[in-house]
Structure 1
Amino acid sequence: MKVLKLAAVIDGSGNLHLDIPTELPAGTVDVVIVLNPSIPDTPQIKPYDFSDLAGRLSWQGDSVVAQRMLRDEW
């Protein structure tokens, strides 16, 4: 068994063409291909951080009692 690692490019139609010279004799072989997308060289833009817009409610009293009062109004 021989393991080969190489960089390849997928063309616009989604096809991957491989031309790999080997030292193996002519005959039938099993081929296993693992495709792992390369990480681009350009830094990715981070999604917007909404943490500065989020806050906390300072609740005075029992929140369960207040919820039940609001529910009973219906």
Structure 2
Amino acid sequence: MKVLKLAAVIDASGNLHLDIPTELSAGTVDVVIVLNPSIPENLKEKSYDFSDLAGGLSWEGDNVAMQRVLRDEW
């Protein structure tokens, strides 16, 4: 069994043409194809910047003590 990985192009009609030279002898083979669309670097989804949604909280008091009070309510 051989695993081959290569980049290929699907034409405008939706056909994928493969011409793959192998070192196998002539005969019947099973072929398994997994198509994984590659995304060009400029189209990759960019991580969203949430900084415009984040706010600041001015807190008076002991943060840890308040956390314990809220947790103990459960």
TM-score range with shorter-chain normalisation? 0.5 to 0.7
Give distance in 1, aligned partners of 2:45 and 2:30: 41
RMSD: 2.2
Give distance in 2, aligned partners of 1:11 and 1:45: 24
Q: Give the structure with the larger helix fraction.
A: 2
Larger Cα-atom Rg? 1
Gaps of 5+ in 2: 54-74
Mapping for residues 3-18 of structure 1, pairs under 5 Å: 3-18=3-18
Q: TM-score, structure 2 length as denominator?
A: 0.58
Q: Which runs of 4+ in 1 moved over 4 A?
A: none
Gaps of 5+ in 1: 53-74
Question: How high is the sequence identity, in percent, across the aligned residues?
Answer: 80
**Deviations 1:18-63, CA, capped at 9 Å, x for gaps:** 00000000000000000000011213577xx9x96xxxxxxxxxxx
Give distance in 2, aligned partners of 1:34 and 1:45: 23
Q: TM-score, structure 1 length as denominator?
A: 0.58
